[in-house]
Amino acid sequence: MKRLIALFVIAFLVITPSAQAAPKKIVVNPLKLLTTIGSPTEVSGVVVSGKNFIVFGTQNSKAYARAVDSNGNELWKLQLDQSQASIASAAVVDSVGDIWIAGATPAPAVAPIGTPTAAINPDNANVPTSTFIGDLKVLTIWKISSAGALISTNSLPTSNSILPTSMALDDSGLAIVGSIAGEKINAGFINFLNTSGLFSKTLQIGSASTSIESVTRNADKTFTLVGSSGETIAGKKLAGLIDGVIIKVTKSLKITSVVRSSISKGKRIWNSTTSSLLLGGEVVVGNKSEVAVTKFSSRYAPTWTHRFSGTGPAFTTGSTQLLFLSNGAIPELAWNPKVSTALLITFNSKGVISAADNAPVGQGLLVGSLESKDLGPVVVTSSADLVSIFVRNTR
């Protein structure tokens, strides 16, 4: 009888799968090239407008925007400014399809006092006026219709060079964040443009080593700003070499809280945030570089987080997606790249990886990660020569 029982137990173990068997790794699928949109020196970013893409940037030293369809056909193109130099560096699309683009333009030239000395120009050559990036001290917002017509231009002169990096739009107006720089300043900022076209007073954040990368508007009309800082902000002192910062700002543009993400003897940067407070950023300690993604609650408490071997910037989309340059194995994935490769990871609501897609090798620069109602996840990357748009391969 004992022998019979022993044989039964052995047979049961042979035919029963082990509960400790390793879970099946998720296959990483290649993204599909949709179209190419220009050179990396000319393209600052892309936003989705209906079934089309709005490409913006700087071409021949002038800010521009153009619309292309999913086949790359140009629908319209608009030079945004007539100055000697200008930049377009952030954009957002409103509920009716109008496009809001933020950039910087030079301050109007001031006529010199007295009689100017004539320049030596024996050949009467046409010599254009030089404009340097440090001269771009006017925050400028262009509003464009979905058909490519310039609706309005709003400008705010500042004392230092200015670089908008992100915007948040709702029915009360437009929040603009970015960086300001000068001889004795390197700070972040937020400004608000109301529906009447009036700018608020600019809130400067930091003074010597602070950068604001992304903004979103919260349900209570406050703002969440993310970026990095190497100095005390609103009484919160520096903990690492550079800390990632999450800053809550009221609708009247006053700082109410600062949360610092730090690592001893290292650098942390939050590159992006979404309306669901999914943040992506960089973690660097010595020669080790990782990318972090964290889902925060409305009180900025982390609900789940991951770190992956790779480099930033790290772009988040919605509440489920992270785009970064991966350079190491990820246990949940059938993935171990030999070179840095653009990787889009999708999570479920609990932060568990559910899918992953990669761009081809050679797409070494990340431009952005978007969501299209018609196309699903959209990844914008660049090689050394060409910016490309990829979508999930559904075949």
| Stretch (H or E) spanning 12 | helix 2-15
Asked if 312 and 284 touch (Cβ cutoff 8 Å), the reply is no
Query: At a CB cut-off of 8 Å and minimum separation 6, what does 90 contact?
Result: 44, 45, 101, 102, 103, 164, 165, 166, 167, 176, 178
pLDDT digits 0-9 by tens, 269-319: 999 999 999 999 999 999 999 999 999 999 999 999 999 999 989 999 999
pLDDT value, residue 110? 56
pLDDT value, residue 17? 47
* Residue keyed to tokens 């989309």: 317
pLDDT digits 0-9 by tens, 68-123: 999 999 999 999 998 889 999 999 999 999 999 999 999 876 545 554 444 444 44
Residue 14 has phi, psi (to 5 degrees) of -70, -40
The ranges of the chain with pLDDT < 70 are: 1-22, 109-134, 395
Q: Rounded to whole angstroms, how far apart are CA atoms 177 and 11?
A: 67
Q: Which amino acid is at 110?
A: V
Sheet of strand 173-182, all strands in order from the earlier edge strand to the far edge = 161-170, 173-182, 185-194, 203-205
pLDDT value, residue 191? 98
In CATH, 24-107+131-391 is 2.120.10.30: yes
Q: Global pTM? A: 0.89
pLDDT value, residue 15? 44
pLDDT value, residue 180? 97
Asked if 143 and 151 touch (Cβ cutoff 8 Å), the reply is yes
